[in-house]
Structure 1
Amino acid sequence: MKNQKKTSIRKSAITMFVVTIVVTIFSVLSSNEAIGRLHDVATETQDVVRNDIYKLNDIKTEYYGLLPQLLSYTTKAEAEKKATEELIHSKQEKVKACLEELKSGHSSEEETALYTELNGTIEEYLVSYNKALGFVINGNVNELLLIAKNELNVKGEAVEEKLSQVISYCNDKLDTIVGRGEVVFNIRFWINVVVGIIMVTVFIIIIGAIYICILKPLAEGQKLVNRVAESISNNCLELSDRIEINRNNEIGEVFVGFNLVLDNLGKVFARITENSNVLKETTDELDNVSNSAKGRIEDISATMQQLAAGMEEVASSVAVVTGNAVEVNNNAADIQTEVNGMKTLASEIRTKADSLSEMCETQREKSTTMMNSITGAVENAITESKKVEQINELTSDILSISQQTNLLALNASIEAARAGEAGKGFAVVADEIRVLADTSRETANNIQVISDMVNKSVSSLAESSNQLIEYIRTDVLKDYDSWVVAGKEYAEGAECIDNTMDQLSDKTKELQQIIGEISDSFNQISATVEESTAGITNVSENTQELVYDVQGIAGQAKKNLDVVADFEEVISSFKQD
C-alpha cells in the first residue's frame, strides 16, 4: 500500500467542480456573447427604422400644413402675409432637411432608391406649390385656382401615395426586426435551458463520484470503527486487532491513524500497569505519614489557640489603658483650650484697659481745652451783652425827642388855629407829627421793657455758665483722672492674668506631650499585640487547615488506591501480546 500512488479526494473534488464551473461559464459566455451581438444589431436597426418613421411623420405633418397656409394667405392682412411667407419657407426647408437625412442615413440600394423617388416627388410638388405661391403674392387668383385644381392636386396625390408607400415599407421592416428579436429571445431561452440541463447532469455526476470516492469508503470505515468500539465497551478488545486498509486517499490515512492509535494505546496500557503498582506503594506510605502528621499538627493547633487567648487578654488590657490615656489627653486638650480662651480674654481686657486709659486721657485733655475755650467765649459774650444797657440810654433819648415833638406839634396846632383857613394844611401836618411822636414814645417804652428782660436773661446766662464751668473744672476733670488710673490698674491686672495663663498653657502642653508619648507607646504595644494575636490566629487557622489538608491528602490517597484498582480492572480487560 505504501508503494501505491496516493489519490487525493480533495483534489479530485476540486478538479470536478472546477471543470464544471469552467464549462458552464464558457457555455454561458459564448451563447450570451453571440446572442448579445444579434440583440445589439436588432436594437440598432429598430432605432434607425423608428427614426425614419418619425422623420416621415414630420414630413407628412409639414406637407399637410403647406396647402392651408397657401389658401389662407389671401384672407390675411398685409402685416400677417410676411409671417405666413416665412412660415411656408420654414416648412419647406424642414421637409427638405428631413429628406436629406433619410437619403444619407441608408446604404442599401432599395432604400436609397425609395427615398430618392420620394424626394423627387416632393420636389416636383414644391415647385408647383411655389409657383402657386407666386400667383397668390401677385394677386393672380384665377391662375391660382387653375393650378390648384390641376397641377397641385395631381402632384399632391402623388406625394401622399409615395409617403404612404414609404411609411408602409418602414412599418413592415420594423415588424420584421421585432420578429427577429423574438427569435433571438427564444434562442437565448433554449440555450439557457440546455446549459441548465448540462449543469444538472454534471452535478449528478459529481454527486455520484463523491458517493463512490468518499461516502462509501466512510461507511465501510464506520462499520469497522463501530466493531472496535463495541469490543472496547464489552471489555474484550485485543490490542493486536487492526483495521484493514484498501484506500489510498485521505480516508485511508484516517484508518492508518486509527491503527497507530491502537499501537500507542497498547504501549500506554503497559506503562499504566507498571506505574499503577508504584502509585499504590507511594499511596500507602503517604497514608501512614499523613496519620502521623495529623496528631502533631493538632497539638500545635491547641498550643496556638492558648497563645491567642492570652494575647487577646493582653490586648484588652492595653486597650483599656490606651482609652484612659486618650481621655486624659482629651481633658488636657480641653484645659489647653480654656487656657487659650482665658489668655485671649486677658489680652482683650488689657487692650481695652489701655484703650480706655488712653481715651480718658485724651478726653480729659479735650475737655480741658474745650472748657478753656468755652470759658473765654462765655466771658466775651457776657462782656458784649453789657452793651444792651446802651439801648436804655437810646430809648431815653427817643422818649425825650418824642416829648419835644409833642410840644412842637401842640405849638403848631395853636398857630394853625390862629391862622384860620390858611393854617388848615399846617394843622393836618401838626396832627401827623403828634401821632408820630406818640407812636415813637410807645415804641421806646416797649424797647425799654424788652431791654430789661434781655439784661436779666444775660445776667442769668452768665451765672449759669460760670456754674457749668466750675462743675467741669471740679468734678468732670477729676472723674477723667480717676478713669485713667482705673484703666491702668485694669491693664496691669490683665497682664498678670495673661502671664499666669502663659505658664498654665506651657504646663498643659508639657502634660499633653507626656500623655501623647504614653498613648503612642500603648498604641505601639497594642499594634504589636494585635499583630501577634493575628499571627497566632493565622497560624492556628493555617494549622487547622493543614489538618484538613492532611485529612484531604489521606482521602486522596485512598481515592488513588481506588483508581489503581480501577486501572488494574480496566487493563485486565485488554488482551496484549
Structure 2
Amino acid sequence: MNFYKNLKLSTRLIIGSFIAIFSMVIIGSMGILNMNKINKSTNYLYYTTIKSINSINKIDKNLLNIYEAEEVMRYIKDENELSKLIKEIDNFMQENLKQIEIYKSTIDDNEERKLFTEFENKLHKYRESGQTYEKLILSGRADEAISKSSNVAKERNDMRTKLDKLVQLNEEWAKEVIDDNTDTYNKSFLMIISIIVALVILSGLVVFLIGKNIKKSLASIKGLSHRLSNYDLSEPIIITSNDEFGQIGKGLNRVQENISSLIKNIIDSTREMNASSDELSSTVEKMASKFQNINTSTKEINSQVQETSATAEEISASVQEVDSSVSVLSGKAIDGSNSAIEIKTRAAEVEHNSKIASESTRDLYIEMEKEVLKDIEQGKVVEHIKVMADTIASIAEQTNLLALNAAIEAARAGEQGKGFAVVAEEVRRLAEQSSAAVGNVKFTIEKVQEAFENLSVNSSKLLKFMNDRVVSQFETFVHVGEQYERDGVFINNMSEELATMTEEVSATIDQVSEAVQNMADMAQRSSENLNSIQQNVNESTKVMEQVEYTAQTQAELSEKLNKMVEKFRI
C-alpha cells in the first residue's frame, strides 16, 4: 500500500490504462482466436461436410435419374430414343464422376475414405450391370434385360446404402463441428464475461483508490486554502503520498512556512520599530526640553547683556560728566572724592555682575555642550531606524516575491487554490503597503537626519560663539570692572592731587570712556549674536517638533502594520 501511495498520479493512471488495454488485448486475442477457430470449423463444415453432402445428393439424384431412364428404356422401341436415353445416362454418369472427384477432395478421414472406396466399387459394378442392361435393351432382348435388372437393382441398393452411410457420417461430422463451435462460443463467452467482470472490478478498485487519494488530497488542499483565507498559518497540510498532490502539498507547506517566518520577522521588526519610535520620541522630547532651557538661558543672558549695556551707558555718561568737570576738579576735591567712591562702588558692581555673568555663561556653556553632544549622540538612533527600515523594505520585497510564488502555486491548484490566491493577494498588498510605509519612514528619517545635522552645526556654532566671543567678552568685562575699580581707588586716593594731575586724570578718563564704549559695543554685538542664537534655537525647536511629529507618525504606521500582521495565526 505504501508502494502505491508513493506512485505518482500519472503512473497510477498509466497502470490503470495499461491494465484496461492489456485486458482488452487479452479479450480481443481470445475473441480473434476463437473466431478463427469457429471460422475454420465453419469453413470445414462448408467446404468439407456440406460440400460432401451436396456432392452425395447430386450423385444420388443422378443415380435416380439413371434408374428412371433405365426403367423407361423397357418400353421404348425407337432406337433413337434409346440412344438418346443412353446418352443421358452417360451424361449423368459423367456428372457423378465429377462429383466423385469433388467429394474425394473433401475426404480427410480414413473411415470416410474406406467407405467411399466401397461406394466407388459398388458404383463401378452398378455401371457395368447398367451397361449390360442397356446393351440387352438395344439388342432387343428386353426379357433378358428385365431378368438382369434384379442384379442392377441389388447393386443400386448397395450403392444407396453406402451413400446413406456417407451422408450419415458427414451429418455426424457436421454435428460435431456445430457442437465444437457451440462449445467454443460458450467457453469464449464465459471467459470474456469473466475477464470483463474482473476488469470492471479491478478498474473500479483502481478508480476508487485514485479517486479516494485525489479526494483526500484535494480536501487537505481545500482545508489549507480555507485556513489561509482566514489568516491561519498555524497548521500545515498533511499529505503522506509522494505523488503530484504530495509534491503540491509539500510546496504549499514550504510557502506557508516562508510566509509564517516572514510574518514573524515583520512582527519582530515592527516591535523593534515601535520601541525605537518610542525611544526617538522620548529623545526628541528631552532635546526639545533642553532647547527650551537653552532658549530661556539665552533670554536671561541677553537680559544681563542689556543690563550690562545700560550700565556701560551710565558709566559712559558719568565719564562724560567727569570729563566736563575736569576743569573744576581742582576746586572740588571733595566732590571728586565722593565721585571716586561712587565710581568705585559702581565698578565693584560691574565687576561683580560681570563675574556672575561670566561664570553663568561658562557654566551654561559647559552644560549646553554636554547636553547637546549627548542629545546629538542619542539622535544617532535614527541611523539604526534607517537600517531597520531598509530591513523591513527587504522583507516587504521578499513578501511580494513569496506572494507571487503563492499565487503561482494557487493557480496550479486550480479551483481549490482560490482561497489561497486571495491570501496571496492580501499578502502582496500588505507587502506593497509595508514598502510604501517604509519609503515614508525613510524619507522622514532622512529629514530627521538633515535636521540633526543642521542642529549639530548650529549647536557647534552656538557653542563656538559662546566659547570664543561671549565668555571672552565677559572676561573682558571682569577685567574692565577690576581696572575700573582700581581707577576709582586711584581717583579716591589722588583726589587731593586732582589739581596737579588733571591731565593724567583726563587721559585716564579718556581711556575709561573708550573702554566703556568698547564694552557697550561688545554688549550690543553680544545682544545681536544672542538674538541670532535664540532664533536658531527656535528653528531647532521647530525642527524637533517636526521630528517628534514624524516619530509619532512612524509609531502610528508601525501600530497599523502590527494590527495587520496580528490577523495571522502562526
| TM-score in same-fold range (> 0.5) | no
TM range (shorter): 0.3 to 0.5
TM-score, with structure 1 as normaliser: 0.44
Q: TM-score, normalised by structure 2?
A: 0.44
